[in-house]
Structure formats: C-alpha cells, structure tokens
Amino acid sequence: MKTIKIFKINFVVLGMLLFSSCGEEFLAVYPTDRITTVSFWQNENDVKLALNGIYSVLKHRGVYGSGPTFDAITPYAYQWAHWNGLEKQIGNGSITASTTGGLVDERWTMCYRIINFSNDFIANLENVDLPADKKATYLGEVHFLRGIAYALLADAYGGVPIILTRLNTQEVTELSRNTLEETWAQAISDYDIAIQNSEPVSYELGRVTKGAALGMKMRAYLYQNKYTEVLQMVEQIDALGMYDLFPSYEGLFKLDNENNEEVLFDIQYIAGEQGQGNFFAWLALPGGVAAAGASDPAPTQHIIDEYEMIDGSAVDPNNEFEGRDPRLDFTILRPGATFEGRLYPSEVPNHTGQRVGFGLRKNVGEGIPLLSPRVSPLNFIVLRYADVLLAKAEALIETNQNIPEAIGIINRIRTERTDVTITSLPTDLSQEAAREKLRHERVVEFFGEGILWADIKRWKIGQDLYPVDIKAADGGLIEVKFPNGYEDRHNLLPIPDNEISFNKNLEQNPGW
C-alpha cells in the first residue's frame, strides 16, 4: 500500500536553481533576497533538497518520463502525435540530426543536466558539515543518478563526452567524445560507488538501494552483451534475499501494490499539481472515462500476435482473444474488453485506439481517481525482478552454459504467478531455439514498460523486423515503419545538430 511519496515539484524546482555550473566568481557581493550557492549548502536539509532536484530530472520525458511511450519506437506500438522528434519519428525512421523538441535532443540535454547537477553536488557536499557515513550515503545516491545518465547516453548515442567536474562555458565548447567502452565504463564506475555506499533498505522510500544499484549495473552489462558479468551481478542481487516475482502480474502495476518485492527501482509519483504526477500514465488512458487521456501509445497487431494460447494450440481466427496468455488482457485494451466497467471500443473511445484498434491497459492506472487533470500518482517501474531473471536466462543461453536452467527460469515467468499460467517450454531446446524463446518472452513480459527498443538495438535485429506495416482497425494502412529498411545507423540516435554547432569537436554518429 502506498503511504508516502517524497519528491514534490515545487521544492524540486527550487532545488534545481541552487546548482552553479560555472567555475568563475565575478563579484564577492552576495544578494540577501534570494538563495545562492553561498547561502545554500549549509546543512543536511540543503543537501536533501539539492539531491531531490537531481532525482526529479528522471521524470523528464527525455529520461524515463515517457514511460510506455518508448515502445512506439518498436513495431509493437504506434504513437499518434504528429509533432517532430518524438518516439513516432524515431520508430518510423524519419528523424534527422536537426530534429528538435523530442527524444533526439531531450535525452542528451536531460542526461547532461543530471551529470552537471551531480558534479556540482559532489563538489559542494565537501563543504557541508556532516558525519562521514551520511556523506557516503548521499555520494552513493548521486553517483547512482550520474551512472543512469551515462548509461542512457551510451545506449542512445554511443560514446559521449565524459564530464566529472564543473566546467566553465569555454571548457564545455572544447569537449570531445569518449569511446562507447569508456562511456559504459563510467556508468559502471558510478554504479560501483553507489553499491559500496548504499544499504539494502534505503533511509527513505524512493531513494537508491543496494539492489537498485546492482540491478542497474546488471542492465548496463546486459546492454553491452557482457553475459559473464551479468551472471555475477544476478548472483549478488539474489544474495540480498529481498526480491521475488510478485504473485499477480496484473496487480504488479496497480497503485495499491507499489514498492512490492518485485521492484528494484522505480520513479516515484504523487497526486497533485502537474509535474508531481505521472503525465504519461494519464496520456495513455483511453477516452470516455474519468480524466480521459489520449490513448498514446496504442498497441499494434504485431504485439497481439506475440501472445500465445495458454495450452500452446493455434489461435482461432474466429475467436482470437479466447484462451490467450492472460498477460494480453492485463496489458492491452482490446475489442470486447471492458475498462472501468465500460465496453471497448464502443463506450471507451480514444484518439489512437480508434485507428489502430487497441489501447494500453498496463501502466495507465485504471480506476485511479485523479485529483487534477493529467496527473497520475502511479509509479513507473524502471527495473523489476522479472528482468533480473530473464537477464540470467539470456546470459546462460548466450554463454551456452546451461540451457535447461535457462528454460527453467523462463518457465518461472510463464507459470509462477497466480494469474499467469501458460504451457511450460521443453528444457531440451537448442541454443538457437532457446534464444528465440527468450527474446519472445521479453517482448510479452515487458511490453508497455519502455525497454523493448533497447533490446532491438543490442540484439541488432532491426533489419529482420522492418519494414513494418501499421494497420488501422479496419485493415487500412496507417504508415510503414522504416519503409526503406532498417540501417545500422538507426541503432544510435544522431548527436543533435545544435550540440555540434555549439561544440565543433563533437563528431556525428556514422550515417547521420
């Protein structure tokens, strides 16, 4: 049961204003009518407020704020929004290096905001009189946050400039890109400091824990296909004895069950003013219900086709939703289903779903009364134990160590919850067949959680998936994703043109 939340945006914005990113001092005269770096950084409350300012950047759509909308970059979801730079354009291959106003430049900007704030925090913390153990805890948190920023940058752009100290404006314009390996190594280094300085249970709900730091380090290795290291991290996570599958797949994404035993790390939200709540949880809500949203993004037929029959039989085309993997109805709003007691789609209209035929149910907070429009208190799960299990299974398969054990882990996902029990896979599969089953399971298990784009890139399977036709509910063609085929360059975003204009030392990614 959710009882407390931590980060309130009015205090967070104030915290953001307290960071100084310039290393020069112009006047030794300090104003008395506003907060400055000199008048701030005096006590532990100042430290917490500053730290909250960094946490809050995680909620931006360039970081984790888009939530399930990131799946619109894959064949499995469609985004109706027409303005440039969003997941729609990345997902259909129409972005360019000059695209602004969306993920192309916002991920770069927001991740470097985290990095710059973190570097200021580390420098200023030295001047605050605190016990050594508390300083270590706060340093662990800020390194965790900086590690997330470098990991997201590496995954999105490849190698980027590594900044570990405060820089002045001139120094920023002279930076060059580090290698991809160096960027990932920096993320790992930051996670290591977080692991060393964090406890299994944090001092406040929503703060970094040792399990969160271990888990994000595991993901960093997974995204580099470093499977031996993945197995080592899973062993350390399991040694904590804190995590397990939540008994209900449907319940995992309900407000009443937040912060349960499956969650390693999530973004905490509260009901309140816009900015305090989860905007994209609202955005995915269908129309015709309380606080109606825009049903953005909408699942496509391609994800529907991934859900198996419970007994392993073929899908009946005349009754296609009967007997399917229960995760379909827990995740997707499809014709004939109900949402908040209303029949879809006749009583629950929406923008996108009316065209594509489906809506998102997972991560939208069905039935949650909203205190104000466009604000949902539903947390967004960044990393959960099912991902740890499937990372272990993938590592066992790719290192060809123990295929039967890997299949056994996949079968846990398929059979261990009270509301999801589908046919177990045979344990005598070949490595190639096991790999296919593992990748399929990740698609079904994690659709609507915004991580499938990273899987497509790291597995380098875009060429096998595209071009993809996105069909309307009536069978008409809406768009073709990557009509000219998927190229290697699409595994990375372009460095934003405005960044290269600002700093001529930045080299563009190949093909952009």
Banded model confidence at residue 14, pLDDT cuts 50, 70, 90: very low
Q: Give residue 28's pLDDT.
A: 31
What does residue 483 show for φ and ψ, rounded to 5 degrees?
-60, -25
**Do 222 and 391 meet the contact criterion of CB atoms below 8 Å apart?**
yes
Domains of the chain: 9-23+34-197+491-502 (1.25.40.390)
* Least confident stretch, 281-285, 315-319, 361-365: 281-285
Q: What is the pTM of this model?
A: 0.91
Cα angle: 341, vertex 375, 453; to 5 degrees? 85
What does residue 356 show for φ and ψ, rounded to 5 degrees?
-85, -30
Token pair in block for residue 467? 């071009």
Report, as an integer, the average pLDDT of 436-462.
Answer: 97
* Least confident stretch, 9-13, 226-230, 391-395: 9-13
pLDDT for residue 221 is more than 90: yes
Tens-place pLDDT, residues 183-196:
999 999 999 999 99
For residue 439, the SS3 value is helix
| CA gap 10, 275 in Å, rounded | 9
Q: Give residue 101's pLDDT.
A: 78
**Do 312 and 305 meet the contact criterion of CB atoms below 8 Å apart?**
no
Tens-place pLDDT, residues 235-275:
999 999 999 999 999 999 999 999 999 999 999 998 877 66
**Do 48 and 64 meet the contact criterion of CB atoms below 8 Å apart?**
no
pLDDT for residue 387 is more than 50: yes
DSSP sequence for 112-180: HHHHHHHHHHHHHHTTS---HHHHHHHHHHHHHHHHHHHHHHHHHHSS-----S---HHHHTT--PPPH
Close Cβ partners of 464 (under 8 Å, ≥ 6 residues apart): none
The secondary structure of residue 467, as a DSSP letter, is: S
Close Cβ partners of 383 (under 8 Å, ≥ 6 residues apart): 212, 215, 216, 219, 263, 264, 265, 266
DSSP sequence for 280-316: HHHHTS-SSSTT-----SEE-HHHHTTPPBTTS----
| Between 350 and 17, residue with greater pLDDT | 350
* Least confident stretch, 219-233, 354-368, 477-491: 354-368
The secondary structure of residue 324, as a DSSP letter, is: B
Token pair in block for residue 9? 């945006």
Token pair in block for residue 482? 């990557």
Banded model confidence at residue 276, pLDDT cuts 50, 70, 90: confident
| CA gap 7, 377 in Å, rounded | 12
| Closest by CA position to 326, among listed 339, 311, 346, 313 | 311
Q: Give residue 58's pLDDT.
A: 96
